[in-house]
């Protein structure tokens, strides 16, 4: 019986691209609502439309969990395939991963410094920059305290959440540190256990991996199994009953999608949070398991897919999804200070329309940045590999 590694093709790649793109937009939508609107608990008499608005805009953190599972699948597929073919190279692996990360991260850090310094210069007294206590619920902090050289260097070294805070207002950078260390940890353990090198080398890799896992701290270690759910999908058996049966495939996908969304929504219900003693990681595991179930079904799509609107839209969204994640938040914080006073919005026709406009503006901004950075990843990677030969 074959595994998922055997069936990846253009059809399910389009679905994976769509998921990546929508997850990045989900993070953006959450941050627009989170930065511009009051907390749901502060609405005096929430209507049904209010409830729908807050539900629809509440999946930003869940989207990061989606990224972790997807990352586990993509990285594991690459490492396992190259190890099986005896073509795995640590040098090539590090170049591929670092180029992918830095080609967007370095411009993203510079843009964070730019937006935050401009914001502090013009709106330095706004609570979103000062972190001053307010009568309404928020978790603002003094942005200026996170703009030092040490914090910048720490973010370049993926030490945010370990030794330093995420740079400036760009709190979204926390997950990049998690991703980077998972990129290191997985091949250490996989090559160490199933690699083709000497026993001494393999044992050394496992020991270094264990030391690294301990050194990066509890948070990164606790989320590693979530990332490994994506790895597990690479070894899952194929569901051949879904192959070449479009109606059955889409029915199974719909059911699995509902399981995923249901699990994610459960994590936002007070009673469920209480059941897990308000443990965020417990509800994140619930989301991850639901998404992994959904992804396992999506990967069964083996039917050829025409290069139509869906494929082109999927590719377009995926092509700037990483850039969108890295660059959106400092701009949103600046716009929050510029466009509004201290008090956040309640949902109205005007405020929701403004939120929708902000989403489109930031998407276009991120796409423009991606055309100058993310779209050049292959070229930079090829150049780096050539220089190292």
Does position 17 have pLDDT exceeding 70, yes or no? yes
Angle of CA points 182, 57, 175, to nearest 5°? 15
Strand partners of residue 37: 345
With 0.85 as the threshold, say if the pTM is over it.
Answer: yes
Burial class (CB in 10 A: 0-12, 13-18, 19+), 259: middle
- Tokens coding 261: 């969304």
Three-state SS sequence of 25-66: HHHHHHHHHHHHECCHHHCCCCCHHHHHHHHHCCCHHHHHHH
Cα–Cα distance, 245 to 224 (Å, whole number): 35
Q: What is the mean pLDDT of residues 179-193?
A: 97
pLDDT value of position 2 = 54
pLDDT category at 275 given cuts 50, 70, 90 is low
Question: Cβ neighbours of residue 168 under 8 Å, at least 6 residues apart?
Answer: 112, 113, 115, 116, 143, 146, 147, 151, 330
Q: With CA atoms as reference, report the closest residue to 23 among 276, 266, 349, 260.
A: 260
pLDDT value of position 9 = 58
Alpha carbon separation from 303 to 10, 132, 299, 356 (Å, rounded): 9, 56, 11, 35
Contact of 338 with 34, CB cutoff 8 Å: no
In this structure, of 14-18, 87-91, 277-281, 320-324, the range with the lowest mean pLDDT score is: 277-281
Cα–Cα distance, 83 to 101 (Å, whole number): 22
pLDDT value of position 266 = 77
Question: Cβ neighbours of residue 159 under 8 Å, at least 6 residues apart?
Answer: 177
Q: What is the DSSP letter of 165?
A: P
Cα–Cα distance, 128 to 93 (Å, whole number): 40
Cα–Cα distance, 142 to 274 (Å, whole number): 31
Whose tokens are 């597929």? That residue is 77
pLDDT value of position 354 = 96
Domain boundaries along the sequence of the chain: 4-388
Cα–Cα distance, 280 to 51 (Å, whole number): 22
pLDDT value of position 277 = 61
CB atoms within 10 A of CB 199: 7
CB atoms within 10 A of CB 307: 10
In the three-class reduction of DSSP (H, G, I as helix; E, B as strand; rest coil), residue 79 is classed as helix
pLDDT value of position 270 = 64
Q: Percent of the chain scored above 90 by pLDDT?
A: 74
Q: With CA atoms as reference, report the closest residue to 93 among 184, 6, 4.
A: 184
206-234: b or e for each residue (b if 16 or more CB lie within 10 Å)?
eeebeebbeebeeebbebbebbbbbbbbb
CB atoms within 10 A of CB 381: 18
Whose tokens are 């073919």? That residue is 85
pLDDT value of position 1 = 43
pLDDT digits (tens, 9 = 90+) for 48-92: 999 999 999 999 999 999 999 999 999 999 999 999 888 999 999
pLDDT category at 145 given cuts 50, 70, 90 is very high
pLDDT category at 272 given cuts 50, 70, 90 is low
Burial class (CB in 10 A: 0-12, 13-18, 19+), 149: exposed
Residue 302 has phi, psi (to 5 degrees) of -110, -5
Q: What is the mean pLDDT of residues 268-285?
A: 72
Cα–Cα distance, 216 to 123 (Å, whole number): 36
């Amino acid at each position: 019986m074959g595994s998922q590694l055997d069936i990846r093709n253009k059809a399910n790649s389009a679905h994976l691209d769509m998921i990546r793109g929508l997850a990045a937009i989900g993070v953006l939508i959450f941050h627009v609502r989170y930065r511009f609107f009051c907390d749901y608990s502060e609405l005096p008499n929430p209507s049904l439309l209010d409830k729908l608005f807050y539900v629809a805009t509440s999946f930003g953190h869940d989207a990061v969990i989606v990224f972790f599972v997807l990352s586990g699948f993509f990285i594991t597929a690459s490492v396992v395939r190259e190890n099986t073919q005896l073509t795995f190279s640590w040098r090539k692996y590090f170049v591929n991963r670092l180029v992918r990360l830095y080609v967007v991260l370095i411009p993203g850090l510079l843009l964070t410094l730019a937006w935050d310094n401009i914001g502090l210069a013009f709106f330095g007294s706004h609570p979103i920059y000062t972190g001053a206590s307010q009568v309404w619920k928020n978790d603002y902090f003094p942005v200026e305290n996170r703009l030092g050289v040490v914090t910048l260097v720490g973010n370049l070294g993926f030490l945010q959440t370990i030794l330093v805070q995420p740079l400036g207002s760009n709190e979204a950078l926390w997950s990049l540190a998690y991703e980077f260390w998972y990129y290191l940890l997985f091949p250490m353990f996989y090559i160490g256990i199933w690699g083709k090198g000497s026993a001494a080398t393999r044992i050394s890799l496992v020991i270094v991996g264990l030391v690294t896992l301990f050194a990066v701290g509890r948070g990164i270690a606790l989320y590693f199994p979530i990332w490994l759910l994506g790895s597990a999908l690479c070894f899952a058996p194929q569901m051949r009953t879904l192959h070449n049966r479009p109606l059955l495939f889409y029915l199974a996908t719909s059911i699995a999608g509902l399981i995923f969304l249901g699990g994610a929504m459960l994590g936002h219900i007070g009673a469920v949070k209480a059941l897990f003693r308000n443990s965020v990681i417990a509800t994140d595991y619930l989301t991850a398991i639901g998404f992994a179930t959904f992804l396992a079904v999506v990967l069964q799509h083996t039917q050829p897919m025409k290069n139509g609107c869906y494929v082109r839209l999927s590719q377009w969204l995926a092509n700037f999804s990483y850039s969108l994640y890295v660059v959106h938040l400092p701009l949103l914080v600046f716009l929050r200070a510029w466009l509004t006073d201290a008090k956040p919005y309640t949902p109205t026709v005007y405020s929701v329309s403004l939120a929708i406009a902000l989403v489109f503006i930031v998407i276009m901004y991120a796409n423009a940045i991606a055309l100058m950075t993310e779209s050049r990843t292959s070229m930079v990677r090829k150049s780096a590999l050539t220089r190292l030969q």
